[in-house]
A and B are shown apart, each in its own frame.
Chain A
């Protein structure tokens, strides 16, 4: 698999973590905060999709999606714990500014435990299981935090609990980000799968999730920031979807708008 990777996994990791965290930290800005936060979430989703691609190419035995919703489960517990830990433990009050980083670290710790349990106790024979579970969970955590901060207008724990958890939007982010992260590889699976096409698909699913987040952001973030997220999300989706369509047309055996299949020798 390694020879077909045009983009280095470490570069994608840095893109995901740095982009995601910058997005979350700037989410408090007025008007464009939510937009930047969502763009950070997109970086995280693309990183996660690449990590899924690496681990699932070994064959998990349970289908590609399973590791996706497990990682999202890990990420929800870890990220909410990271956000609210400063409220729960007044001694940590000084760390309020580090809440998103804390959420990422918590998630990665649970992810590492899961990876170790899978390899050491269950005995899965995937050498990169631990690293990839940590990466996917981390990406899931950043994407949830980024979209939630965009809706709540910042990453303060009380705001996220009030405007994302209480109305139940957290459930949407759970399942929608799960789909955005695991779908690209699951959809492009096959002997002729290639990294750039899969990641174009990842960008399109991520921008689609951002568009939905834009609609949800109308609930609290205000009309102008929400419309901004919506429009940029739609434009980004259009561009990345076109790119994916073009790449698919070029790589297809043949593209037909009518007729039967060609004859092949059995």
Chain B
């Protein structure tokens, strides 16, 4: 295989990995406290919500197999954003009508998007609750990056695997299966690295913890580069 296609593979995997790792920082998760309406955000773990959105994106991206790379990435991004958007909206339905609370952020006293004040709507003794608009938009951005990143990694590995001599003697479906499981692996490596960097919970881009994102991106870039080298070892081409 030509050197240029190798370079493109590495660029796509690293760019995809950075998108995944960076995207996780945007997703508003409050972990266990959010499930008790004690903290703002969606009531689950960082890596898990990112995985749910990213893997939905991977499924929609893969249904575009054979199209250009930007379409695969776009389909991944749209699938992930739809999953994240609907999930956060329904979560707010549960918070508002099931628990009877107003979505309120604790990290921003005024919502930077709607300009609504947050503090009076916070239950005393809690760190906010629900998914206010700023967190919602942040989550959509996170899903956009995560889904597009997953789509890019899938596209790169799939097109590389289809052209590889390694898979010439085996079943034609092996390329898609291999690309999928490798993308899932790279997705989890990056999303867990990012969630280690966040340290559990984050509200979105307005959270002070968001300032840690350069470290998270560096970590994702290094890990994606390492993974890309092993993908080359896996499928050959030098």
Q: Is any CB of A less than 8 Å from a CB of B in the complex? A: yes
Smallest Cβ distance from A228 to chain B, in angstroms?
26
The CA-CA distance from A113 to B222 in the complex, in Å, is 8
The CA-CA distance from A88 to B1 in the complex, in Å, is 11
Find the A residue at minimum CB distance from B47: A66
The CA-CA distance from A158 to B178 in the complex, in Å, is 13
Q: With A73-B186, A122-B219, A161-B178 in contact, do A62 and B46 touch (Cβ < 8 Å)?
A: yes
The CA-CA distance from A44 to B231 in the complex, in Å, is 24
CB-defined contacts of B216 to chain A, threshold 8 Å: 122
Q: With A70-B188, A113-B222 in contact, do A168 and B227 touch (Cβ < 8 Å)?
A: no
CB-defined contacts of A122 to chain B, threshold 8 Å: 193, 196-197, 215-216, 219
Q: Which of A73, A80, A81, A166 has the most CB of B within 10 A?
A: A73
Please tell me if the beta carbons of A70 and B218 are within 8 angstroms of each other in the complex: no
Q: Which of B183-238 contact A (CB under 8 A)?
A: 184-189, 192-193, 195-197, 199-200, 215-216, 218-219, 222-223, 226-227, 230-231, 233-238
Please tell me if the beta carbons of B230 and A81 are within 8 angstroms of each other in the complex: yes
Smallest Cβ distance from A69 to chain B, in angstroms?
5
Please tell me if the beta carbons of A158 and B237 are within 8 angstroms of each other in the complex: no
Q: Which of B182, B186, B189, B216 has the most CB of A within 10 A?
A: B189
CB-defined contacts of B222 to chain A, threshold 8 Å: 113, 117, 121
Q: Assess whether A170 is interfacial by the CB under 8 Å rule.
A: yes
| Interface 0/1 of A64-83, CB less than 8 Å to B | 00110110111111101100
Q: Assess whether B169 is interfacial by the CB under 8 Å rule.
A: yes
CB-defined contacts of B238 to chain A, threshold 8 Å: 89
CB-defined contacts of A168 to chain B, threshold 8 Å: 177
Select which of A62, A77, A161 is within 8 A of B195 by beta carbon.
Answer: A62
Find the B residue at minimum CB distance from A171: B181
The CA-CA distance from A113 to B46 in the complex, in Å, is 22
Smallest Cβ distance from A208 to chain B, in angstroms?
22
Find the B residue at minimum CB distance from A124: B196
Q: Assess whether A63 is interfacial by the CB under 8 Å rule.
A: yes
Smallest Cβ distance from B177 to chain A, in angstroms?
5
Please tell me if the beta carbons of B188 and A88 are within 8 angstroms of each other in the complex: no
Q: With A73-B184, A161-B170 in contact, do A85 and B233 touch (Cβ < 8 Å)?
A: yes
| Interface 0/1 of A35-51, CB less than 8 Å to B | 00000000000000000
Please tell me if the beta carbons of B170 and A110 are within 8 angstroms of each other in the complex: no
Smallest Cβ distance from B86 to chain A, in angstroms?
24
Please tell me if the beta carbons of A165 and B177 are within 8 angstroms of each other in the complex: yes
Q: Assess whether A106 is interfacial by the CB under 8 Å rule.
A: yes
The CA-CA distance from A121 to B234 in the complex, in Å, is 27
Please tell me if the beta carbons of B170 and A72 are within 8 angstroms of each other in the complex: no
Please tell me if the beta carbons of B193 and A80 are within 8 angstroms of each other in the complex: no
Q: Assess whether A84 is interfacial by the CB under 8 Å rule.
A: yes
CB-defined contacts of A62 to chain B, threshold 8 Å: 45-47, 192, 195-196, 199-200
The CA-CA distance from A165 to B176 in the complex, in Å, is 9
The CA-CA distance from A84 to B160 in the complex, in Å, is 14
The CA-CA distance from A168 to B174 in the complex, in Å, is 8
| Interface 0/1 of A134-174, CB less than 8 Å to B | 00000000000000000000000110011001111011001
Q: Assess whether B165 is interfacial by the CB under 8 Å rule.
A: yes
Q: Assess whether A227 is interfacial by the CB under 8 Å rule.
A: no
Q: Which of A221-260 contact B (CB under 8 A)?
A: none
Please tell me if the beta carbons of B185 and A72 are within 8 angstroms of each other in the complex: yes
Q: Assess whether B35 is interfacial by the CB under 8 Å rule.
A: no
Please tell me if the beta carbons of A165 and B174 are within 8 angstroms of each other in the complex: yes
Q: Assess whether B114 is interfacial by the CB under 8 Å rule.
A: no
Select which of B47, B178, B192 is within 8 A of A165 by beta carbon.
Answer: B178
The CA-CA distance from A89 to B235 in the complex, in Å, is 9
Select which of A63, A75, A85, A158 is within 8 A of B170 by beta carbon.
Answer: A158
Please tell me if the beta carbons of A117 and B231 are within 8 angstroms of each other in the complex: no
The CA-CA distance from A165 to B164 in the complex, in Å, is 16
Q: Assess whether B2 is interfacial by the CB under 8 Å rule.
A: no
Q: With A69-B188, A77-B186, A162-B170 in contact, do A113 and B223 touch (Cβ < 8 Å)?
A: yes
Q: Assess whether B167 is interfacial by the CB under 8 Å rule.
A: yes
Q: List 30 A-B contacts (CB under 8 A).
A: A62-B46, A62-B47, A62-B200, A69-B192, A72-B185, A72-B188, A73-B186, A76-B182, A76-B185, A77-B230, A80-B234, A81-B233, A88-B236, A89-B236, A106-B230, A113-B223, A114-B189, A117-B222, A117-B223, A118-B193, A121-B219, A158-B169, A158-B170, A162-B171, A165-B181, A166-B171, A166-B177, A168-B177, A170-B177, A171-B181
